[in-house]
Chain A
């Protein structure tokens, strides 16, 4: 099973400030530990929302809104994807994550859907049908 460790944004990450050396070291140590255990799949940091934009749908209308966005705690600054055997293992690895921010930090852990999770349903079968353009 795969889990995404989502790193929430902060004032600093939104300002585009480079993290201090100490934190970078802690992050590198942590990700090295994940890699050594063979559970690290992917990870990336995201540019501040000042470089991003949003597309919203409301009242039948589509609107494009440029960043930056203000609700810092709701924003995402980066993510790490791990593959583990059990939920408990994900809990343990997440517990070892260093504080990703200079002051108050927050990470959120979410399990990623895998094909088996969808099971059998008419809608899922339709998705599969759509995809099966190249299949028999």
Chain B
């Protein structure tokens, strides 16, 4: 295949830069946008390969940026090359070689140069599989030496395609603060003098679970929207999902990777249904299931099947995905297999003991065996320190009390939940439910 055959454009593949007229100017702006798009698609892989050489993500990012500048200079005349990714990687490597040559000359180590530079310029095979480097980059961005919020920022910036401004907006901090957070994270990585060796055995498992944790954190930031602008939220979900899908291709034999992807696909399938036309949250059982995204459900169930096939003992993400799949498979809320879901939450609590999981189990038990049984478990959690200030505990208790007809207590618990939530819309919903308790009582 040649470039001309692949790019079905009339005339020359891309307009020359010296077009003097307005059309030429518009075209050249379009050309620049097209080049920047190619770059955005390839950026993470360029950084991944260059990190391997430079052993420094900050430098790798700079070399990638240099490659973009080179592309903007050459491609308007030559057209976009047949393998733009390989071209950009080669350009970035040349910049890296220049950089290290200058650095070594400054240090007077010219003699050492020949060999190393040689190994560096070795251009990647055009179809070079750089999956390993991508996985390395994810491992580095999610390195345990960094605090979680730095891992999130670095992952979105280096592996995902988000700009610093976009990440800042999503996490409600100024662009400057986010830029500093990223710079600091890169410096910490450099100072930690990481071995840059591929982790093996249990270390690999731990590092992988850090990546999964960060991806799910990003997804949840978009999904549960504790803060940030509305429009950024689906973008965070989509980005976490995209990175999860990439990871599933890079580590295809890891059961929990598919488990997490399944969980995210299934939760994302409900994105459109969980907010009503007025922007208010809609509870799972009240959602219009016709608005669930069947394509994402199909993908989620397929990923779950892969996860189950790879491991006899389901991990936490796979268990949560199995629960999400129970909901996805039920055509109506009445069809939901609550007994099974309650058992799955018990299995999950055994794997990762957590009062939040127990609270979910209380809800499932209430649905399976009646509100009194659920309330019994929820009440046991009331004294748990970890749940102090957690709005969903009073919210769940309120719901169960209401079902039991204990409307005064229910109303008070809804109000308590409303006072604890950070989310305006959720607060409005809880107050609305408190009010309906009062109305029912007086009716």
| Chain A contacts to B: CB under 8 angstroms | 26, 35-42, 81, 83, 85-86, 88-89, 91-93, 95-96, 98-99, 114-115, 120, 125, 128, 131-136
The answer on a CB contact under 8 Å between A135 and B287 is yes
Q: Tell whether B421 is near chain A: CB-to-CB under 8 Å.
A: no
Q: Which residues of A contact B246 (CB under 8 A)?
A: 36-38
CA distance A39 to B160 in the complex (A): 12
CA distance A125 to B442 in the complex (A): 33
The answer on a CB contact under 8 Å between B299 and A134 is no
Q: Tell whether B74 is near chain A: CB-to-CB under 8 Å.
A: no
Q: Which residues of B contact A88 (CB under 8 A)?
A: 33-34, 36-37
Please name 12 pairs of A and B residues whose Cβ atoms are closer than 8 Å in the assembled complex, sorted by A: A38-B242, A38-B245, A85-B161, A88-B36, A89-B41, A93-B41, A98-B1, A114-B272, A125-B277, A132-B288, A134-B286, A135-B276
Knowing A36-B246, A92-B41, A98-B1, the reply to whether A133 touches B291 (Cβ < 8 A) is no
- Which residues 278-333 of B sit at the A interface, judged by CB distance below 8 A? 282, 285-291, 295, 298-299, 332-333
For B287, give its contact among A92, A99, A128, A134 (CB under 8 Å). A134
In the A-B complex, list the 5 residue pairs whose CB atoms are closest, starting with the nearest.
Answer: A38-B242, A88-B37, A38-B245, A38-B246, A131-B288
Q: Which residues of A contact B245 (CB under 8 A)?
A: 35, 38, 40
The answer on a CB contact under 8 Å between B249 and A35 is yes
Q: Which residues of A contact B40 (CB under 8 A)?
A: 89
Q: Which residues of B contact A114 (CB under 8 A)?
A: 272
> How many residues of chain B get a CB closer than 8 Å to chain A's CBs?
40
| Complex: chain A residue closest to B289, CB-CB | A134
Distance to closest chain B CB from A81 (angstroms): 7
Distance to closest chain A CB from B16 (angstroms): 20
The answer on a CB contact under 8 Å between B161 and A135 is no
| Complex: chain A residue closest to B283, CB-CB | A136
Q: Which residues of A contact B243 (CB under 8 A)?
A: 38
Distance to closest chain A CB from B144 (angstroms): 24
Q: Tell whether B38 is near chain A: CB-to-CB under 8 Å.
A: yes
Distance to closest chain B CB from A99 (angstroms): 8
CA distance A54 to B295 in the complex (A): 25
The answer on a CB contact under 8 Å between B288 and A92 is no
- Which residues 127-156 of B sit at the A interface, judged by CB distance below 8 A? 131
Knowing A36-B246, A91-B37, the reply to whether A135 touches B286 (Cβ < 8 A) is yes
The answer on a CB contact under 8 Å between A134 and B332 is yes
Distance to closest chain B CB from A62 (angstroms): 25
For A133, give its contact among B1, B272, B282, B288 (CB under 8 Å). B288
The answer on a CB contact under 8 Å between A86 and B286 is no
| Chain B contacts to A: CB under 8 angstroms | 1, 5-8, 33-34, 36-38, 40-41, 80, 131, 161, 235, 238, 241-246, 249, 272, 276-277, 282, 285-291, 295, 298-299, 332-333
- With a 10 A CB-CB cut-off, give which of A37, A98, A114 has the most chain B CB atoms: A37
For B277, give its contact among A85, A95, A120, A133 (CB under 8 Å). A120
The answer on a CB contact under 8 Å between A135 and B299 is no
CA distance A105 to B246 in the complex (A): 30
Distance to closest chain B CB from A94 (angstroms): 10
Q: Which residues of A contact B295 (CB under 8 A)?
A: 41-42, 81
Q: Which residues of A contact B1 (CB under 8 A)?
A: 26, 98
The answer on a CB contact under 8 Å between A37 and B131 is no
Task: Contacts A38-B242, A88-B37, A98-B6 known; list 8 others, CB within 8 Å.
Answer: A35-B249, A36-B246, A41-B299, A42-B299, A85-B235, A86-B37, A92-B41, A135-B282
| Complex: chain B residue closest to A41, CB-CB | B295
CA distance A83 to B106 in the complex (A): 47
Distance to closest chain A CB from B269 (angstroms): 12
CA distance A93 to B332 in the complex (A): 38
| Complex: chain A residue closest to B288, CB-CB | A131
CA distance A93 to B245 in the complex (A): 17
Distance to closest chain A CB from B241 (angstroms): 8
CA distance A86 to B163 in the complex (A): 14
Q: Which residues of B contact A125 (CB under 8 A)?
A: 277
CA distance A88 to B35 in the complex (A): 10
Q: Which residues of A contact B131 (CB under 8 A)?
A: 36
CA distance A90 to B238 in the complex (A): 16
For B38, give its contact among A92, A99, A132 (CB under 8 Å). A92
Distance to closest chain B CB from A96 (angstroms): 7
| Complex: chain A residue closest to B244, CB-CB | A38
Q: Which residues of A contact B288 (CB under 8 A)?
A: 128, 131-135
CA distance A35 to B134 in the complex (A): 14
Q: Which residues of A contact B38 (CB under 8 A)?
A: 92
| Complex: chain B residue closest to A129, CB-CB | B277
The answer on a CB contact under 8 Å between B286 and A136 is yes
| Complex: chain B residue closest to A85, CB-CB | B161
CA distance A86 to B8 in the complex (A): 20
Knowing A85-B161, A89-B40, the reply to whether A95 touches B6 (Cβ < 8 A) is yes
Q: Which residues of B contact A93 (CB under 8 A)?
A: 41
